[in-house]
Amino acid sequence: MQACYIERYGDADVVRVGELPTPRPGPGELLFRMQAASVNPVDNKTRMGMLRALQSYRMPAILGNDAAGVVTALGPGVKGFQIGDRVAARLDKARMGGFAEFVPARPEHLARIPEDVSFAQGAAVALAGLTAWQCLTEVLKVGAGERVLIHAGAGGVGHLAIQLAKGLGAHVTTTASTASHDWLRELGADECVDYRDADFTRVCAPFDAVLDTQGGETLLRSIGHTRRGGRVVSIGDLPTPEVAAEFGKPWLAPVFWLLSRKPRAAARAGGVAYRYWFMREDGTQLAQLLDKLARGELRVRIEREFPLAQAPEALRLSEAGRVRGKLVIQP
């Protein structure tokens, strides 16, 4: 089968597209023929080896963390799915493999795609949508009437988070270039701040909750502009100690304690709850997001589609930034 893979960690030049053996589903797995996969920042972080401490891969490692397609084979013990089902998945972190003609997956990470939802939409909402939903509902616990700041609202996670936060009844502020403001207001943003021309800490009142996608100084300023008793979650900075336990590697907790000391200290001084979030695979939550797509309660923007042979180009474009919504790869 054709696949996009790496044989070692490194820069963009290590990415290859070529023939690899077609996988067979093992016990408790199924196989689906990929019809769409989406590009996420974690794909390039994986390629560079930035996540090796948490998750290392046997080479060659097929890239791609979410995908959608049609079930073609069932491994022993698989229940709840049939050959021919249209499915989407945020794939197992320990395996990945979305950028390939055939993709193995575990049933608990899968959700059926409603008839009115395309494969491209299903793939595009999987990782980004789950990230946004878990940050908003499990970490920030956003409630009606709360003031929520979402950074990089035009991005893959950001544009979904705006809609989901609005659906939870929040007053939503987002940072994005002026060119995206009209579109983001259509999605539900109440306030849009151009990060190049304005400082959100000067033009906005303090927030109850912040979803940070940038890390660094943006995260520190966000913590400083959150009210005492508020909450901040980051997907753009360095992991906090909780992540080590969640990955089953408690010996990394002291390392993450040191790496995350600045934002944690800022949060402690300001009376703000803070942590980093590494989303988890969850087929039940993904099914809920797909239902929102089918009902028109959630929209996912697909900026551009690439054939599998051009997956390295899609990865380069994603790494360069300035993508509105999502990039999708098709076989």
CATH of the domain at 155: 3.40.50.720
Residue 79 placed within a domain = yes
Same domain, 254 and 143: yes
| 99 burial via Cβ count (<10 Å: 0-12, 13-18, 19+) | buried
249, 269 contact by CB (below 8 A): no
The answer on 144 and 59 residing in a single domain is: no
The reply to whether 158 and 260 lie within a common domain is: yes
Q: What is the pLDDT of residue 38?
A: 98
What is the extent of the structural domain holding 313? 2-112+301-330
Same domain, 92 and 177: no
pLDDT digits (tens, 9 = 90+) for 199-225: 999 999 999 999 999 999 999 999 999
pLDDT tier, 58 (very low <50, low <70, confident <90, very high otherwise): very high
Entry pTM: 0.96
Which CATH number characterizes residue 310's domain?
3.90.180.10
Average pLDDT over residues 48-57: 91
- pLDDT tens for residues 122-162? 999 999 999 999 999 999 999 999 999 999 999 999 999 99
Please tell me whether residues 154 and 188 are part of one structural domain.
yes
- Over residues 296-313, the mean pLDDT reads 97
Who's near 51: CB < 8 A, 6+ residues apart? 42, 45
Distance CA 259, CA 275 (A): 12
164 has pLDDT over 90: yes
Does residue 144 sit in the same domain as residue 42?
Answer: no
Q: Evaluate if residue 25 carries a pLDDT over 90.
A: yes
Query: Please, what is the angle between helix 283-295 and helix 119-134, to 10°?
Result: 120
Residue 321 has pLDDT above 90, yes or no: no
Q: Is residue 72 part of a domain?
A: yes
Domain count for the chain: 2
